[in-house]
Amino acid sequence: MAARYLRTSDIAKAVGVHPNTVRLYEAWGFLASIPRSASGYRLFTQSHLEQMRLAYLALKWPYPGGKEVVVNLVQRAAQGDLGMAMELAYQYLANVRMERTYAEAAVEFLERWARGQQLDTTRRDLQIGEAAARLGVTVDVLRNWERNGLLSVPRDPATGYRCYGAAEIGRLRVIRMLRQAGYSLMAILRMLLQLDAGITDDLRTALDTPRPDEDAQTVADHWLSTLADQESRAQMIIQQIAHMIDLAQYPAPNPKRRQ
């Protein structure tokens, strides 16, 4: 009896997507070439189904460390180069872990400052341009952080100019490092409000847990949890590719099309 094939709707149902998503992934090169029947119907195999599962798992925002490696691994798998796909999956895992390490280091930097460690030795007040140059940011960035409530800068009563002392520069160093590590302005503000209220315990949780009244809109509003989830996803990608390699070595019978 001739082997039967899976339909587009079968692939979509198995993965949990709309049939148009399957067609788009085919058009974008995320699935291997799909043969057609004499009447023009796509003839999917089990291999196509596993490729679709990989693509749908991998191609979901966010992409800590960059999207390019994820797209590349899906394309390599579609081309049949599962060894390179596995190598790239581990590269993606390393990228996620690097981002997570940086995020954790920024929290340790914050905690040191919160315990009273001075982070700057400025001996005179700096004007905004000098402060920006010292921190390696722009004047607009400093003004934006102030507008968003991350700090209040005292003013010279004679000139009205902002006066950045060691305390302000130290606070700005913490803000800058948290921003560079991926935390959102909202998450940083939430943590600073707690700190300024005298609550110094568990600032990590404050950074990662939006309040009920917040309109949390980005993954950076709960960045530590996001990175933990992305590391788990990277492991799932590796497991899926390993499964595909096993199937390539020991092929399962062709799937039967339901009557």
Domains annotated for the chain, with CATH where assigned, are: 8-95+225-249 (1.10.1660.10), 100-223 (1.10.1660.10)
Counting residues of the chain whose pLDDT is more than 90, the rounded percentage is: 82
Distances (CA, A) of 194 to 41, 121, 190: 60, 25, 6
Distances (CA, A) of 31 to 46, 55, 58, 181, 198: 12, 8, 13, 34, 55
pLDDT attached to residue 216:
61
Phi, psi of 252 (to 5 degrees): -80, 160
Measured between alpha carbons, how far apart are the two ends of the chain, in Å?
14
**The tokens of 100 are what?**
């997570």
Q: Before 62, cis peptide (omega within 30)?
A: yes
Tell me the mean pLDDT in the region 151-160.
93
pTM for the structure as a whole:
0.86
Distances (CA, A) of 83 to 31, 80, 89, 186: 16, 9, 10, 41
Tell me the mean pLDDT in the region 227-255.
89
Q: pLDDT category, 2, cuts 50, 70, 90?
A: very low
One-letter identity of residue 127? Q
**The tokens of 204 are what?**
């990590």
Give the residue, 219 or 177, on which the prediction is more confident. Answer: 177
Q: Read off the pLDDT of residues 15-71 as tens digits, 9 standing for 90 and up.
A: 999 999 999 999 999 999 999 988 888 999 999 999 999 999 999 999 998 999 999
Distance in angstroms (rounded) separating the CA atoms of residues 1 and 75: 33
Q: Is the pLDDT of residue 161 over 90?
A: yes
pLDDT attached to residue 123:
85
Q: What's the full length of the chain, in residues?
A: 259
Q: Which residues pair with 164 in a beta bridge?
A: 126
Distance in angstroms (rounded) separating the CA atoms of residues 108 and 14: 44
Q: pLDDT category, 1, cuts 50, 70, 90?
A: very low
Q: 205: part of which helix (H) or strand (E)? A: helix 203-208
Q: Is the pLDDT of residue 186 over 70?
A: yes
Q: Read off the pLDDT of residues 114-140 as tens digits, 9 standing for 90 and up.
A: 998 888 888 899 999 999 999 999 999
Q: Read off the pLDDT of residues 67-104 as tens digits, 9 standing for 90 and up.
A: 999 999 999 999 999 999 999 999 999 999 999 999 99
Distances (CA, A) of 123 to 67, 126, 154, 164, 166: 44, 9, 16, 10, 7
Q: Is the pLDDT of residue 258 over 50?
A: no
